[in-house]
Amino acid sequence: MIKLAPSILSADFCNLASEVEEVRAAGAEWLHVDVMDGEFVPNISIGIPVVKNLRKHTDMFLDVHLMITKPRRYVGQFCDAGADLVTIHLEADEPQNIIEALEDIRAHGKKAGLSIKPRTPGSALLPYLEYLDLVLIMTVEPGFGGQSFMRDMLNKLRGVRALIDQYRPGCEVEVDGGIDASTAPLVVDSGASVLVAGSAVFGKADRAAAIEELRMASDVKA
């Protein structure tokens, strides 16, 4: 079963509670929270206080995507704030610090994810697989919503799906960037199990219809 994870980056931050309730009621499984520090990516978004407030207002699964440098410094605080899953970037620190950050997330009783940017090969994930509940394949350069899906990521996605099936079965394979009703069937067919969508959900006036459209498009018969 494919999970849909609307990204609040494209939501109305002045009406966050009702925005979140709308996608929950429409059947979205996860809520994707994009955290940007202005250093790892050329944009600044939201952080720990927003995760804390979301946790008070919803029981949705909070999928927190940290696009920040040296995430080891903050993963514990995001766990304590109420994240259910914290994903960090492989490119954001030295390998040993990445492993320690992943261990820290799991020591907090939360799920750990590792993301790779478009130019990082899927094989770079191999040394980390034993620490992971999720891998996140970026299908745009991280930093902004509303960008076009990079079609050449489909090959990488298929390769990562093969690695996961062989070495870490049960680990989720998430995709993020440019996912809409036209690209959803492509990524599902290539092995994605969790689909992040920002503008394709919160950019639409009717969120229930948007989620239904994504759901239908993700229902790819093998």
Q: Which residues bind Zn ion (CB under 5 A)?
A: 34, 65, 176
Contact of 116 with 137, CB cutoff 8 Å: yes
Considering the complex, what minimum distance in angstroms separates the CB of residue 125 from ligand DX5? 17
DSSP state of 39: S
For the question of residue 176 being annotated catalytic, the response is yes
Q: Which is nearer to ligand DX5, 71 or 145 (CB)?
A: 145
Give 79 or 194: the residue with its C-beta nearer to ligand DX5.
194
Q: What's the token pair of residue 198?
A: 């920002």
Q: Min. distance of Cβ 21 from ligand DX5 in angstroms?
A: 19
Which CB sits closer to ligand DX5, 26 or 179? 179
CB of 193 to ligand DX5, least distance (A): 16
Reduced to 3 states (helix: H, G, I; strand: E, B; else coil), residue 132 is: coil
Quote the tokens at residue 47: 């952080």
Looking at residue 44, the DSSP 8-state letter turns out to be: B
* Count, residues in the chain: 222
CA-to-CA distance for 173 and 129, rounded, in angstroms?
12
Residue of minimal CB distance from ligand DX5? 198
Burial label for 203, CB within 10 Å (0-12, 13-18, 19+), is middle
What is the four-CA torsion angle of 178, 144, 197, 2, rounded to 10 degrees?
80
Which of Zn ion, ligand DX5, none does residue 179 bind to, with CB < 5 to 8 Å depending on kind?
A: ligand DX5
180 is catalytic: no
Min dist. Cβ of residue 67 to ligand DX5 (A): 6
Footprint of ligand DX5 (CB under 6 A): 7, 9-10, 32, 34, 65, 140, 142-147, 176-179, 196-200
Q: Identify what 218 binds: Zn ion, ligand DX5, none; CB under 5 to 8 Å per kind.
A: none
Q: Which of 37, 63, 176, 180 is catalytic?
A: 176
Select which of 34, 37, 63, 180 is catalytic.
34
Look at residues 86, 89, 76, 77 and name the one whose alpha carbon lies nearest to residue 39: 89
Residues serving a catalytic function are 34, 176
